[in-house]
Amino acid sequence: MDSNKKPTIGFIGLGIMGSSMAGHLLAAGYSVNVYNRSKDKTAALVEKGAKWYDTVGDLAADSNVIITMVGYPSDVEDIYLGVGKILDRANNAYLIDMTTSSPSLAIRIAQEAEKRGCHALDAPVSGGDIGARNAKLSIMVGGNQSDFDAVLPILKTMGANIVLQGGPGAGQHTKMCNQIIVAGTIMGVSEGLAYAKQAGLDADRVMESIGGGAASSFQLLNSGAKMIAGNFAPGFYVEHFVKDLGIALDEASKSKMDMPALSLAKRLYDELVAKGYARNGTQALYTKYIPE
């Protein structure tokens, strides 16, 4: 990649987070090509100068760097390995998958990319819609050092904490660590605030005390505040969290690890999906502890 010229970036997946991330790239002066299954979600970006493509393959052929932020491992597999799609059409491009996906799939994509003269990195993120809007995402990267160095300026337009964790798949494994901890923390926040409500306490006053003590965390201060307000709008969809927890459980089972807290979180979130909360935010777990 020519260090003296800004590369053209293709961005696939313009959802809650992807749209903000692509917007930061445009604001930083990059030429951005976009594709999304729902074309209407790209309208604001196109208005700002992004170029719409009708197919993943055409976008890949016209981009030096391709960033993907889609829903599920099956989506990742399709857009990278499908006939006529990214790996069939990209030319010596840098491929950055920022979806939370399977570590084994990340390794497979990296191997295929190398065969075809491309450079693949798995780079899932943490920080939700707030981190995406503020360009403060934590980005966990797996791949080669030289490839990481080449795309670091691009990653810096979207995140503030960017760490190369190891070879292909290491970024996804690190994201699994993140999601396991987040799952347990949201359970604790939900139960603690439900306890406060049941005890007749003023939840905002409780937050004044515990928000600055040993219980303080991003989840308490952000998701907890939303729980108190009854705001279950998505910053990160329940259905996507269920997907992440399933990947983490599958990976843990390969190592014969017993993960009781993770297993409980997966069951509770599966129950939320069954009750119709799939498109709500992860803080909707609180509804399991309060009377409807």
Q: Are residues 183 and 44 in the same domain?
A: no
Does a structural domain hold residue 1? no
Q: Is residue 2 part of a domain?
A: no
Same domain for 185 and 139, yes or no, is no
23/156 same-domain check: yes
User: Which of 160, 145, 146, 188 lies closest to 283, judged by CA?
Assistant: 188
| Degrees to nearest 5, angle at CA 143 with 246 and 133 | 65
28 with 140, same domain: the answer is yes
Verify that 60 and 157 share a domain, yes or no: yes
Which of 140, 167, 194 is where one domain is finished? Answer: 167
DSSP secondary-structure letter at 7? P
Quick check: is 18 in a domain?
A: yes
Same domain assignment for residues 24 and 130 = yes
Residue-level pLDDT, tens digit, the chain, 292 residues: 766 789 999 999 999 899 999 999 999 999 999 999 999 999 999 999 999 999 999 999 999 999 999 999 999 999 999 999 999 999 999 999 999 999 999 999 999 999 999 999 999 999 888 899 999 999 999 999 999 999 999 999 999 999 999 999 999 999 999 999 999 999 999 999 999 999 999 999 999 999 999 999 999 999 999 999 999 999 889 999 999 999 999 999 999 999 999 999 999 999 999 999 999 999 999 999 987 6
Give Cα separations from 251 to 22, 77, 106, 170, 258 (angstroms): 30, 18, 13, 12, 11
Q: Assess if residue 239 is contained within a domain.
A: yes
Position 67 in a domain: yes
Is residue 12 within 8 A of residue 33, CB to CB? The reply is no
The enclosing domain of 193 has a CATH number of 1.10.1040.10
- CA distance linking residue 40 with residue 47, whole number of Å: 11
Per-residue b or e along 69-79, where b marks 16 or more CB atoms closer than 10 Å to that residue's CB: bbbbbebbeeb
Boundary residue ending a domain (104, 137, 167): 167
Q: Which of 5, 39, 48, 175 is catalytic?
A: 175
- At residue 106's C-alpha, the angle toward residues 126 and 235, to 5°, is 25
Give me the torsion for CA of 93, 96, 101, 102, rounded to 10°.
50
Examine the domain organization and report whether 83 and 138 are in the same domain: yes
Domains in the chain, number: 2
Asked whether residue 3 is domain-assigned, the answer is: no
Say if residue 260 is in the same domain as residue 193: yes
**Residue type for position 41:** K
- DSSP tag of 219: I
CA atoms of 263 and 283, how far apart (whole Å): 18
- The answer to whether the CB of 22 falls within 8 A of the CB of 41 is no
Looking at residue 2, what is its pLDDT?
A: 67
What span, in angstroms and rounded, lies between the C-alpha atoms of 219 and 46? 34
CA distances from 245 to 86, 137, 186, 221 (A): 27, 20, 13, 22
Boundary-marking domain end, from 120, 149, 167? 167
Domain that holds residue 234: 173-288
How many whole angstroms separate alpha carbon 42 and alpha carbon 13? 9
Give the tens place of pLDDT for each residue, 126-161: 988 889 999 999 999 999 999 999 999 999 999 999
Neighbour-count burial of 3, counting CB atoms closer than 10 A to its CB (0-12 exposed, 13-18 middle, 19+ buried)? exposed
Claim to verify: residue 162 and residue 182 sit in the same structural domain: no
Q: Please check whether residues 60 and 150 belong to one and the same domain.
A: yes
Q: Strands 137-142 and 125-126: what pairing? A: antiparallel
Q: Residue 270 corresponds to which amino acid?
A: D
Crossing angle of the two packed helices 170-198 and 103-115, in degrees rounded to 10: 150
Is 226 an annotated catalytic residue?
no
Is residue 26 domain-shared with residue 154, that is, in the same domain?
Answer: yes
pLDDT tens digits, residue range 187-218?
Answer: 999 999 999 999 999 999 999 999 999 999 99
Q: What is the pLDDT at residue 118? A: 98
Burial state string for 239-265 with b = 16 or more CB within 10 A and e = fewer than 16: bbbbbbbbbbbebbeeeeeebeebeeb
Could you tell me if 231 and 269 lie in one domain? yes
Q: Which residues are CB-neighbours of 99 under 8 A, at least 6 positions away?
A: 13, 68, 69, 70, 71, 72, 73, 75, 76, 124
Is 83 a domain residue? yes
User: Two tokens at 251?
Assistant: 């990976």
CATH number, domain at 88?
A: 3.40.50.720
The answer to the question of residue 268 being in a domain is yes
